[in-house]
Structure 1
Amino acid sequence: MEYKKVPVSDLRIGMYVANLDRPWLDSPFLFQGFTIQDEQELHQLRETCEHVFVDAEKSGDVDLSDLENRGAHPTPKGEEVVDFNEEVTRARNVRERGETLSKRLMEDIRLGESVRTEEAREFISDLIVTVSDNPNASIWLTHLRRQHEYVAAHSMDACVLAVAFARHLGYERQALEDIGLGALLHDIGLMRTPQELLAKTGPLTDEEFEIVARHPWEGYNVLRLTQGFSKRTLDIVRYHHERIDGSGYPEGLSGEEIPQEVLLVSLVDAYDALTSPRPYVDNPLPPYEALTQLRKRAATDFGGDLVEQFMRCIGIYPVGSLVELTSGALAAVVSHTQETRLSPVIMMLRDADGEPYTGQPLVNLASLVEGVDTNRWRILGVRNPADHGIDISEIAAMHGGG
């Protein structure tokens, strides 16, 4: 997509501003991408920016032929002007590599072949960069749901969430790689579990559960014979179903016997499982309901402090949540920072009358002007997408899912 880099002195009413010369969250503009409507918006742009990026295709009948095309967006010199769709596209490319790799790793294990250690490490290294640059775009894509490929997609989602959470907790680079690898491979032992048990829709018998519960050991036994995996990674694969009250498996560890990085992956594993469709789960939980369940289980499963930190990491309104505004409109949360957890960037889905928004525009709630925009744009509460016939996974697929 080609944008024109335009000095603010050359802006005219009717131009579509696709991006700024600074992050949207650092600007006073409510919509992320908008058509200049009046002199007041022109003045605000000139007060805020030195230049912006104009989308010629969306600028209607405005003649831009007299403006020099400075090349494709984003521009050099490190200017942070990448928009949400471009960040999601970048994250999607990394994710697709990850899912393909996850499938190959699992197929290798199923066939008794060696693990692609170096390829896995290279991927995790690239993923860390992507998640570090924009964790919201990567987490948005965890809402792409492929029920028939649950194990591979779940492993990828757990990997993204684990890296984002570990960064939030302050882990350094080597630890991030070990944790990311452990999360990507945590269910590798399922490839040695009878597939009919994994696809069973009813409850497992005691004997069947004992077979499935062996998968942490199976995965550990495969990886420990392969060079290149740290003790931290091996512990994650081996112990990710242990719980701090001793009720987990395969060894019934408890309390401080379980390393924090293991509990970290266990927590994101449980969160993604609760929010994902599985062969035996028709209605996955919305993010806020999953967090409520995890909070109830914190004392017995993961520890209250760790769950609280996870909630701070993914926000009061987690990416992928459906929210209702005071106007009655419905929107999906697509981005936030620690400073804007109460005022995230949202994607408008339906207006107060239930009509779809054309183009599903992005709105930066951190740009609300007190007393001017408050009445229409505040978040009233979180809503269950199923109650409104909304499928967040379909929306995620439309915006960066390929």
Structure 2
Amino acid sequence: MTTAAQAKAFPDIVAEGVSALPRPSEPAHIIRSDAEAIAVAEDLAAQFAKGASERDRERIWPVAELDAYSQSGLWSLNVPKAFGGPELSYVTIDRVIQIISAADPSIGQITQNHIGVVAAIRTVSDEAQQKLLFAEVLGGTRFGNAFSEFSSKRAADFETTFKDEGDHVVVTGKKFYSSGALLAHLVPIVALDGEGRAWYAIAERDAPGLTVIDDWSSFGQKTTLSGTVILDHVKVPKTHLVPGYRGYDRPTADGAIFQIIQAAVDTGIAQAAIKDTIAFVRGGSRAWIDSGLDHAWQDPYTIQAIGDLTLRLHAAEALLEKAGLAVDRAVADATAESVAKAQIAVAEAKILSTEAALQATNKLFELAGTRSTLGVHNLDRHWRNARTHTLHDPVRWKYAILGNYALNDVNPPLHAWS
């Protein structure tokens, strides 16, 4: 909860902090194959889809859903086999995220930073730290995030810092857009050392001085709970201090991995919107007065539009798979060339998944008709989720990356947004 000292140090706090959830009492399941991962994801998605509209409408926290999700083994898919993990391909991981996001994209998004941090630990941590932190993940521990800051000039500018205090560091700062932090067990905090280098200081969710505030007010992705994190002299043991900056001072796949999960979420949103469009046209829409037809699903213009949307979804899925293969190659052998190719493939997937999600969620209402806008259906959640989530990492800059690479042989920049 917010203390008097924190209120004084951070006078703009207007809400109480939220208590941490307990860690799982049993180890998480460990998935052993691509087929098992897909099957588990599809089973969970069927469960998550049932309450997705209500959770959006009432802003109900997906506590039971996240517990089932992380205990299923789907949160450890990129833990290396050397440490007991599945080490599945990013083609499979992206497919899992798309399946979950088609059911509830808020739940799909919450996974993103966890997967990215696990990937970073593989890239930059020593063996002892990997063994320690991967054991946490395999046990069912969820990483949240406290990365971005609300008032900095650019996304990669950080004011949160830490001080070295011997066997631990002390972190001070304030974060926003902290998807997953509220319901996490551990919270990776991006904080700068005295040389301005960015580390992940992975704090206990209930660490003294760490306050997570439920103040996320976006009209979309409502239950990512991406609010404020206050860091008031939070102690983090050096065993949990991960040198994240090393993932970007040389070519690695770390940035592409953070990005490809975003594309998978948007592809899932497009998939769900097209599915609901078809269902409504088949069962709830009327034929247009001038068509001379009995049913909306007979309308040739509607048929053409559904064909176009389906094509764009399949194209987005194909680029997502292509990007996953490129990321897998860059993970296996990180060179300037392989990493750049992965970044380019991911940028292409990000562009097309963004455009497919926005077009599908907008076309839903045009094709389904006026009655599809009634509140009882809550179909606007698809557009709200697409419009909110696609604002991550704007695609206008993805086009610039693609053009500069093709025209001038300039590799994309190395950071978590590329």
TM-score of the superposition, structure 2-length normalised? 0.28
| Pair member with larger Rg | 1
TM-score of the superposition, structure 1-length normalised? 0.29
